[in-house]
Amino acid sequence: MTDTKRGITAEDLYQICYPSEPQLSPDGTKAVFVETKMDELRQYQSHIYLYSLEDNSKTALTSGPFRDSFPRWSPDGSKLCFVSNRSGKAQLWHLDVNETEFKQITNGPNGISSPVWSPDGRSIAFAAFLRTGQTLTEGTEELTEEATPKSITVDKMKYKSDDSGFVYEKNKQVAVVNIETGSVTQLTEGTYDHAVGSWSPDGKWLAITANRSVNPDIQHEIDIYLVPVEGGEWKKITNSDGTYAMPTFSKDGKKLAFIGSVADQHLYATMKKIWVAELDAGTVQCLTADWDVHVGDATIGDVRSPGHPNPGAVWTTDGQGMYVIASEKGSSGIYLVHLDGSVTKVVGGERNVYGFTFDNEKNSLVMAVSDSLTPGDLFHVDLNTETEKRLTDVNGELFQEIRLSTPEEIWYEGAEGWNIQGWILKPVGFQEGNTYPAILQIHGGPHSMYGHTFFHEFQLLAAQGYVVVYTNPRGSYGYGERFVQACCGDYGGNDYKDLMHAVDYVCQFDYVDETRLGVAGGSYGGFMTNWIIGQGNRFKAAVTDRSICNWISFYGVSDIGYYFSAEEIQANPFENPEKMWHHSPLRLVANMETPLLIMHGERDYRCPIEQAEQLYMTLRHRGKAPVSFIRFPGANHEMSRSGDPEQRVLRLQYTVDWFNQYV
C-alpha cells in the first residue's frame, strides 16, 4: 500500500488549533471551552464552544474576529460570563444560555481579566489594570501610553515585563461588578498588583493574592488576603514568607487551599507545594512537604503559550482533599492530595494535562490534554466508572493527511551517573540501514520540562529527515527538588555534560550520522547552544533563539535580570562580575567556529535583543564562521509559542534552511 501521507510543514501552523479552559456545567451535562485558531488573515481568534455530554454535539457560542476567553458558568449553571475584546478592549460579557444575545458588563478603561462568580450568581469579581490614582468607578479614561512620550521616568526596578511592556505606573486591581445593575465596587488600590482567587461560600469574603511588601522590587513574596466584599478590615492569611497563588475556599468556608513555595528558596527552581490555611485557628500548613513532585504543569511545548488559567486546587465535596495538576517525568496529570498529605494519582498516562474542571458533585471531570502526536483535545472522565472518553479531535482532519514521528523514550547516564530522561524522534519515513543527521534540542527555563506534549518544530525537523533528540538535563522539573536546583550556580557545568552525554548516547545508534549534528535552543536553551559551540566543533550548525550570551548585561536589561542572575548564576555585577563573566558564552567567542543562526524578537524584555547583538557583532568581527542574524520586529520572548503567526512560520523556515544548508 502506498503511503499518501506527507510530513508536517511550517505553514501547517496556520491550521493547528487547540482547546483550552474547559468548564463543566455544575450538573455535569455540558462543558464550555475556548478554541484558539488562526483565521484567513493569519490572525488568532478564540471562541467559546459548548459541548453537550448528552448528545455529544459541539456548538460555537461566539464567532467573529475576536479573542474570547475565560468562559465561566454561574453557580446554578443558567448563565455564562466570558471575557472578550469584541468591543475593543477585553471586557466582561454575559450570556444567558437560553438566549443568543450577549451583554457587555464591564467598561473598564484598560480591559479586565480572570472573572469569578459570586456564590449567589449576582456578582462577578475580576481583575483590571489601572494607572496609579485611576479608579474603575470614576470615568472611563483610556490607559493608553502616549505614542512617543518625550520622556519616561523610571523609579522602580520592576518597571517592565516581557508580556506587558512598560508597566511603570500601572497596577492590577480587584473589583466586583453586579451583573444586573452593572455597578462596580473596586476592592483594592495602590501601587501593588492583586489577583482574584475565590469567594467564601457565604459570599462575604474574596480571597485574593498580592505582593504588598514595603519594597516589592526586592521582596518577591506574594501573600493571601481575605477582603470583605462589603468593606472593612482585610485578613492576612500568610506571613510574607513565600509566593502563594490561587486560593480556593473549602465548601464549609473554614479552610483555604493554595499553591506556593517559601521565600528562602529559589523563586524559579523551587517546586510548588499545596498549602492549607485553617481560618479559625489561623494556621497555615504545607500538605505536600514530603512529596517531591512539582504542583502545576511544567511541560513546555510550542503550540500553546504557557500559563493558561488553571483551576489551582479544587476541593473534594467532603473537604478531605483537593485535586491539582502536577508534573512528573515528562508527564502532567491530575492528583488528589488528601488533608493528611497522602497523594493519589487520579489521571495519569504519558501525556500533558493542561487544564481540568469538575462538576459540582465531583462525579466527572473534563480535561484538556496534549500528547506527542496531539496539540490538544478535550476528554471526559467518569470518576465513578473510571472511564475516559475523547470529546474533541480538533485537528483530526488536518492530521489525517500528515505523517508524524512517534518519540521513543530514552533514559541514559548523565554527569555524575545521574539518570536522565529524554526522547528520540526518528525521521519521518525512517528506513533501517540508512543514516541520518541529528539535531539536539535544548529547552529553556531552565526550570521547565520536555515531555509527552506536541512539539511542531521537532515534528518539522523529523519531516525534513532529521533525528531529533530532546532531553531533560538537571535544572528541569519532573525529577524532584534536588534535580531542579542542580544547575543553579553551575550553568554550563553538569547541565552541559548531561546534554553531551545525550549526544554520546544517540551516536551509538547506527542510524545516527555523528558527523552531521546540529544543536538548537531558546532562551536558557539558547544560552546553552551558545555555550556548546564555545566548547568546540562537534556540531555542524547551531540555531540560537532569544538567547543569553552575557550575564553581566543581562542583569540590567532583562525584566527579571537582577534577581534571576542572583539565583541562577549566584552572582551579580558589583560583587562577583568574574562569575557572571565565567558563565557567559560571550567569553568563549574566540572558540566559536560553528555556523550560527541567531534569531531574536526586538521587543523581547526577558532576554533583550542586545544579547543577540553582542554575539552577532563579535562573531562577525572575528569572521571565523558563518553567522546570520534575524531580527523579528515587534516580537517579544513568547514569539515562538504565541507570537505573530507569520513570524512563527518564518522562524521555523529559517531554522530548517540553516540546518539543511550546514548540517
Ligand X SMILES: CC(=O)N[C@@H](C)C(=O)N[C@@H](C)C(=O)O
Active site residues: 523, 637
CB atoms within 10 A of CB 363: 16
Quick one: 35 or 162, whose CB is closer to ligand X? 162
Question: Identity (one letter) of the amino acid at 167?
Answer: V
At 581, list the grid cell: 563573566
CB atoms within 10 A of CB 262: 16
- Alpha-carbon dihedral angle through residues 317, 322, 324, 327, given to the nearest 10 degrees: -140
Smallest separation, CB 647 to ligand X (Å): 15
Residue nearest to ligand X as judged by C-beta position: 444
Smallest separation, CB 162 to ligand X (Å): 8
Quick one: 182 or 634, whose CB is closer to ligand X? 634
Taking the alpha carbons at both ends of the chain, their separation in whole angstroms is 33
CA dist., res. 507 & res. 197, Å (int): 50
Smallest separation, CB 640 to ligand X (Å): 8
Quick one: 270 or 392, whose CB is closer to ligand X? 270
Length of the chain: 663
List alpha helices for 102-184, DSSP H.
none
Quick one: 193 or 568, whose CB is closer to ligand X? 568
At 238, list the grid cell: 500568610
User: By the 8 A CB rule, do 442 and 585 touch?
Assistant: no
CA dist., res. 640 & res. 647, Å (int): 8
Smallest separation, CB 175 to ligand X (Å): 30
642: Cα separation from own chain's centroid? 10
Quick one: 248 or 299, whose CB is closer to ligand X? 299
Smallest separation, CB 535 to ligand X (Å): 20
Cis check: omega of the bond before 446, within 30 degrees of 0 = yes
**Residue whose cell numbers read 455544575:** 26
CA dist., res. 429 & res. 449, Å (int): 28
Quick one: 92 or 295, whose CB is closer to ligand X? 295
Long-range contacts of the stretch 430-435 (C-beta < 8 A, 24+):
430/405, 430/511, 432/511, 434/511, 435/510, 435/511, 435/512, 435/513
Residues that bind ligand X (CB under 6 A): 268, 444-445, 448, 522-524, 546, 606-607, 637
Quick one: 9 or 523, whose CB is closer to ligand X? 523
Smallest separation, CB 289 to ligand X (Å): 24
Smallest separation, CB 78 to ligand X (Å): 41
Q: Which of 231, 275, 269 is nearest to 256 (CA)?
A: 275
Strands 30-38 and 68-73: unpaired
CA dist., res. 474 & res. 295, Å (int): 18
